[in-house]
Chains A and B, each alone.
Chain A
Amino acid sequence: MVPDLPAQGRPLWSSDLVLSLLYKATFFVVLLLVFMPLSALIYGSLRTTAPGQPGGEWTLVNYANLASSGVLTTIWTTLWIGLVASALCIIIGTTLALIVHRTDFRWPRTLTVLIGLAFYFPSFIVAMAWIIIGAPGGIINAILRDGLGLEWIEFDIYNAWGIIYITILHQVPFVYLTIRGPIIHMDATYEEAARTAGATPAKVMRRVTLPLLGYSIASSFILVFVLSIEQFAVPALIGIPGQVTMLATQLYLLVRFSPVDYGLAAAIGLALSAITGAAIWAQRRITQAGRLTTVTGKAGRVTPIKLGKWRWAANVFCFGFIALALLLPMIILLYTSVLRWFTANPFNGIYTWRNYIFMWESASTWSSFWNTLLVSGIGAAIGVALGLLCSYFTLRLKPTGHSALDFITVLPFGVPGIVIGLGLLWAYAYLPIPLYGTLAVIIIAFVTRFLPYAVETVGGQMVQIDRSLEEAAWVAGATRLSAARRIMLPLVAPSVQGAYFLLFMAFFREISAAILLYAADTKVISVSIWAFFEQANWGQASALSVAATLIIFMSLLVIGWLVPAGRRF
């Protein structure tokens, strides 16, 4: 005989109690993560002294200083570099995506994999490689001078166009990957209707395909703009020597070099966040408006456009980009890492393994590897767990205040990494717990910065899971908690794995949120590479970059193998 459900007697730890405690804890943690750095920053921007210093008074002078000519120039430089870089990124990225998905290009898969690798290739490593190539003492000038005897030409990457160039190499994969989805999922009948109406393939592209992609392109443009103006590594590596200052680097200079001005740095951080926040808000409006158009879900394959005599041009364009963004930097780094002293002419080089041997024998390098693994491994787990809880509460359970939670979790999207770092610097000076200079503070910074990514990834899959799957479990006698555990959790598992991977990779490469927070014994790899490069130790920096890149690509392989795309459901 089947036992009946137990009548009303409730256990001490009932499902509802556990869930409501979990909700409160999640809310509290997220609130703390997001508002502590932000409110500390606001506080700091209104004070005359550095964080933790005694004395000081309330002031508005930091905001007044935003209008000084130096800061205004920086804002202007930041904006025009951001706009030009993102416009070029969009043009190149969309062209790549259209070539791969709308023409009879021969190697679509290879190119997508290579662009994926380029996406995970850290920007500061690309920047370093190109500095070795394009600096006044770099390879191009050596070739010009020694190889061709053209002493009157001096090539110099240390300027605004250098920043734009590296930004493009780094961000085009992002554009490609975001535009690719809408192109693949676009209802083929729109384009077929245009063809039957007598339009040539080129006209279909111009009059139908591109306009239909309008919303996606606009959204991608804004995101790239935000990434371009909030980035730290590229403007720091290229802009600081060239005296091109963007907001993120000015903030860094104000905190790390004299004359130190924490208050102005905080005000600049808030100004930068205001710009990025407004841009993110606009981007959300655009995606919401665009959601109704183009994508119908029934993806089809339109007849590809024949490249014909333009095939060579398409090939050069696609593989040329890969060469500049991925292959050349990797070759240069490998080359530099085995040289005793840098020389542009490989036949003059004295080759050595000492950079690798030094790396192997250096305790501080090992500790930075170990730190990075800890931060990425544990940090990503914390971030994903928080993201999972937030998604479940805001999308499913919807308890009181869930829309506030939803709002708070997306806020860090608009806050640049270095600004979060600065905010935490301010916040921890006043906290009773000695967190400053620990790995925990770096984990907190990274989790805060990337929480929106975790929430989006997990939530994106959770909304697609039919509500009745959970309801069926309740009907069958499962409490909310056990339905969440036994039905919801296994069903969102793929996206949880995906989010973990995304965060792990992001943490591994992240430099901007860590650069203000690290101490001697809490260096992560990105910071170590950075430090070697700053000391003009190109060989060490290259060897470490090669190792880091290897780890990144190996993890990609392992995860791709562990999490096969085609699951059984």
Chain B
Amino acid sequence: MGISIANLARHYGVMRAIDGVSFDIADGEFVSLLGPSGCGKTTTLRCIAGLEDPTAGSIALDGRIVSAPANGILVPTHERQIGMVFQSYAVWPHMTVRENVAFPLTIRGADKAIIEHEVREALARVSMGQLADRHPSQLSGGQQQRVALARAIVGNPRVLLFDEPLSNLDAKLREEMRGEIRQLQRRLGIAAVYVTHDREEALSMSDRVIVMNGGKIAQIGSPKELYHRPINRFVADFVGKVGFLQLQRQGSVWVVADGTTILTRSDGVHSDTALAAIRPENIRLSFSIETQEGNTQLRGCISQAHYLGPYTEYHLEIAGDTLRCYAQEDFQIGSEVIATMAQDNVVILPD
């Protein structure tokens, strides 16, 4: 049954940390909450864990209502049977690795034999079996995070919650851990909520991503939907690099400020002005015009160039707007170029 959240709200006085959030997560599904700091993603997660009390709405875990302030239901955290991994790891420094992982079982009075077996299994799953008798101060950050992970899965949790668990690790380790977390969750087959502000993390790990902004959901969708078909400027900007062009409606088509028509697939915007969002990898730069069916070509001037290794990122001034595009060829700053983009890759968004 996973997680079911309806009209969740959390107000601090007049400040609305979460303001009417609803979504469902199926068993086995991995969903990320993505957004800038202060968007309400962490508050939402903490409400699911019961570490914060929602002001309104309801939360159900595995079909059982755990938070519903209107009905006076508020199951305390320790009765929710969840697994959670914290940003700071929160591995208890006064216990060994083994004691840390055993805690969820000892606290509910499980048999010694069961505890020993489960702890061994959980530690093996995160490949920490040989370090079971160490103290956390003798472990690296990555190892501590593995201990936290083992502790989160050991108690047969109904759901797994992650609060930016990788943000304190270095880049290489982070990529490695992404894969491991995802594998572990798949094997357990339970719902997982993963809070992050890192779009790469959200896109690479999730079945679905919920982009939040200002306490509300901006868009829910698969990583590909969010990347290729964002429904507003905020989402387009937040899930990846993008450039925007101001558009005017002229008859049945959209034109840029210099009068060039932009070719797109059908769109749902009915106002007189709109934005075209184009990802940098979907723009091709050249010196000459080469018309092709379904392509738009715009004349622009290169204002900045940042060499990044595999390619160079150019900033292209077009009729008062700036597009970013990647190219492996060299262009001089100040040179006039032609930008070519296919109509499939131009997304029209409300202004």
Contact call A477/B90, Cβ cutoff below 8 A: no
A468-B88, A569-B137 known; A2 and B114 CB under 8 Å?
yes
Contact call A568/B137, Cβ cutoff below 8 A: yes
B347 at the interface (CB under 8 A from A): no
Stretch at the interface among A3-11, A74-82, A504-512: A3-11
Among the listed A2, A469, A568, which residue makes an inter-chain contact with B118, where contact means beta carbons less than 8 Å apart? A2
Minimum Cβ distance to chain B for residue A564 (Å)? 15
A475-B83, A569-B135 known; A2 and B110 CB under 8 Å?
yes
Contact call B94/A475, Cβ cutoff below 8 A: no
A8-B79, A568-B135 known; A478 and B86 CB under 8 Å?
no
Chain A residues, CB < 8 A from B161: 475
Among the listed B86, B94, B151, B156, which residue makes an inter-chain contact with A2, where contact means beta carbons less than 8 Å apart? B156
Among the listed B51, B92, B137, B154, which residue makes an inter-chain contact with A487, where contact means beta carbons less than 8 Å apart? B92
B155 at the interface (CB under 8 A from A): yes
Contact with A along B91-119 (1 / 0, CB 8 A): 11110000000011101111000100010
B77 at the interface (CB under 8 A from A): yes
Contact with A along B77-91 (1 / 0, CB 8 A): 111111110111011
Contact call A4/B77, Cβ cutoff below 8 A: no
Contact call B135/A478, Cβ cutoff below 8 A: no
A6-B108, A477-B104 known; A471 and B137 CB under 8 Å?
no
Q: Find the residue from B78, B109, B151 having the highest chain A CB count within 10 A.
A: B78
A473 at the interface (CB under 8 A from B): yes
Minimum Cβ distance to chain B for residue A13 (Å)? 16
Minimum Cβ distance to chain B for residue A294 (Å)? 26
B49 at the interface (CB under 8 A from A): yes
Contact with B along A554-569 (1 / 0, CB 8 A): 0000000000000011
A5-B81, A475-B82 known; A466 and B155 CB under 8 Å?
no
Contact call A474/B110, Cβ cutoff below 8 A: no
A482-B107, A491-B94 known; A475 and B135 CB under 8 Å?
no
A44 to B106, alpha carbons, bound, how many Å? 57
A357 at the interface (CB under 8 A from B): no
Minimum Cβ distance to chain A for residue B191 (Å)? 15
A477 to B103, alpha carbons, bound, how many Å? 9
Minimum Cβ distance to chain B for residue A372 (Å)? 34
Q: Give the tally of cross-chain contacts (CB within 8 A).
A: 98
B136 at the interface (CB under 8 A from A): yes
Number of interface residues of A (CB under 8 A): 29
Contact call A491/B93, Cβ cutoff below 8 A: yes
Q: What is the interface residue range for chain B against chain A?
A: 35 or more
A3-B110, A6-B108, A487-B92 known; A476 and B155 CB under 8 Å?
yes
Chain A residues, CB < 8 A from B82: 475
A476-B104, A569-B94 known; A471 and B77 CB under 8 Å?
yes
Contact call B83/A477, Cβ cutoff below 8 A: no
A475-B77, A478-B78, A491-B94 known; A4 and B156 CB under 8 Å?
yes
A5 to B77, alpha carbons, bound, how many Å? 11
A475 to B78, alpha carbons, bound, how many Å? 5
Chain A residues, CB < 8 A from B156: 2, 4
Give B109's nearest chain A residue, CB to CB: A3
Chain B residues, CB < 8 A from A5: 78-81, 108, 155
Contact call A479/B94, Cβ cutoff below 8 A: no
A2-B156, A487-B92, A569-B94 known; A476 and B87 CB under 8 Å?
no
Among the listed A478, A487, A569, which residue makes an inter-chain contact with B136, where contact means beta carbons less than 8 Å apart? A569
Contact call A468/B137, Cβ cutoff below 8 A: no
Chain B residues, CB < 8 A from A491: 92-94
Among the listed A2, A479, A480, which residue makes an inter-chain contact with B155, where contact means beta carbons less than 8 Å apart? A2
Contact call A472/B79, Cβ cutoff below 8 A: no
Among the listed A466, A471, A476, A569, which residue makes an inter-chain contact with B107, where contact means beta carbons less than 8 Å apart? A476
A481 to B161, alpha carbons, bound, how many Å? 23
Contact call A472/B77, Cβ cutoff below 8 A: no
Minimum Cβ distance to chain B for residue A473 (Å)? 7
A1 at the interface (CB under 8 A from B): yes
Minimum Cβ distance to chain A for residue B310 (Å)? 36
Give B156's nearest chain A residue, CB to CB: A2
List 17 A-B pairs, Cβ < 8 Å: A2-B110, A2-B114, A2-B118, A5-B78, A5-B81, A471-B51, A471-B90, A475-B77, A476-B104, A476-B151, A477-B79, A478-B78, A486-B103, A487-B92, A568-B135, A568-B137, A569-B136
